[in-house]
Amino acid sequence: MSSQSRRTKLFVFIIVVIIILVGLGSYTYFNTKMTTKQHLIVSTTTSLYETGLLDIVKVEFEKQHPSINVSFISQGTGLAIQTAMRGDADMILIHDPARELKYLQDGYGVNRKIVAYNFFVIAGPSSDPVNVKDLSPTEAFTKIKEAGEANSAIWVSRGDDSGTHAKEKRIWKTAGFDTTELRTMDWYLEAGTGMTATLRLTDEKNAYTLVDLGSYLNNYANENIKLEIIVDAGRDTLNVYSVIANDPKKTEVSSSNFDASMKFIEFLVSDEAQQIFTDFGKDKFSKPLFNPYIKLLESGDNQELIYWIQDLAYYDGTECPPQYRCEANYLYQIIHKELIITPILLDFQH
């Protein structure tokens, strides 16, 4: 073989090797790029997180969106909002309509969507020493206060600026009392922590507390507490959960993952996610811990309950006024029944 032939073969070999290496490098680069996961951080409440519901939501969402890894930061509503306002979370999933509206008005959030609801209840010792069973929440709060002042009852408050704490303060206010004054009294204890720890303290003190039904059932079934439901669910104890994406146009939160947030919102209102709400807890408690709002609205079966939810958690007749919507796509075209139901339900006001 001539030296020229050897050189030619060597040259061809080198070219082939270069092509292979370039090909492998390109494959590795693009494959790595395609499989790099986005991170979505949801700032949420302990009442949702501690039940285990969000673990199921995470699994099913990531099945549909394998390029997105979703994580939850569980806190009281006040802290959950602050976390998102700092840009340390991409969105919020909470249960305090008044503060949700402020979040929108302050320019931090867009595309609010109501996704689920349940009810608060008053839990207490089975002996019910104050005899408040089946009273209205305001009547029960009043009797517990009177008994507390007589050293025969203890109330345990979340005391952590959570959605549950906000609901409790509203009931005290409706009953005619100021929690700023109540918190100075010996019978009024503040746990300053999540729902599970608050329930344990209430159980330990043989006291009363306000708790969302999901957290109560979960802790009771797990034998964390022996407390019983003393005052059951009703219009005054309605609890509504909503999700809000951070506004990509707001400087403080402009680095939030808006696209992934919207995918998560769209998932929560989907038939699959709404079915998760429907089923979660049924096998263990014979009833769901949370109820799907979209399914309720679609069916129109319980118009009074729909009115309760809209009266509590809608702003100017809608869950999210148009000025607080951003690239919402079809999000507010999913359900049109609210436009029909709201006028019909005006009769319930009388």
Domain 38-117+238-349 has CATH 3.30.930.10: no
Claim: this prediction has a pTM higher than 0.75:
yes
Burial class (CB in 10 A: 0-12, 13-18, 19+), 330: exposed
- Give the C-alpha separation, 25 to 33, whole Å: 12
Residue 134 tokens, joined: 């089946």
CATH 3.40.190.10 location in the chain: 38-117+238-349, 119-236
Would you say the C-alpha torsion 69, 70, 73, 79 has a positive or negative sign?
A: positive
Q: Tokens 């008994």 appear where?
A: 147
Q: Which CATH number fits domain 119-236: 3.50.30.30, 3.40.50.20, 3.40.190.10, 3.40.50.1370?
A: 3.40.190.10
- 3-state helix, strand, coil split of the chain in percent (to 5) is 50, 20, 30
Distance of alpha carbon 129 from alpha carbon 97, whole angstroms: 34
pLDDT tens track of the chain, all 350 residues?
555 565 555 555 566 556 555 555 555 444 544 558 899 999 999 888 989 999 999 999 999 999 999 999 999 899 999 999 999 999 999 999 999 999 999 999 999 999 999 999 999 999 999 999 989 999 999 999 999 999 999 999 999 999 999 999 999 999 999 999 999 999 999 999 999 999 999 999 999 999 999 999 999 999 999 999 999 989 999 999 999 999 999 999 999 999 999 999 999 999 999 999 999 999 888 888 999 999 999 999 899 999 999 999 999 999 999 999 999 988 998 554 444 444 333 333 32
Please report the sign of the dihedral spanned by the C-alpha atoms of residue 109, residue 81, residue 179, residue 240.
Answer: positive
Asked whether the beta carbons of 243 and 96 are under 8 A apart, the reply is: no
Phi, psi of 86 (to 5 degrees): -80, -10
Rounded-to-integer distance, Cα 203 and Cα 101, Å: 34
**C-alpha distance from residue 72 to each of 117, 174, 213 (Å):** 19, 33, 21
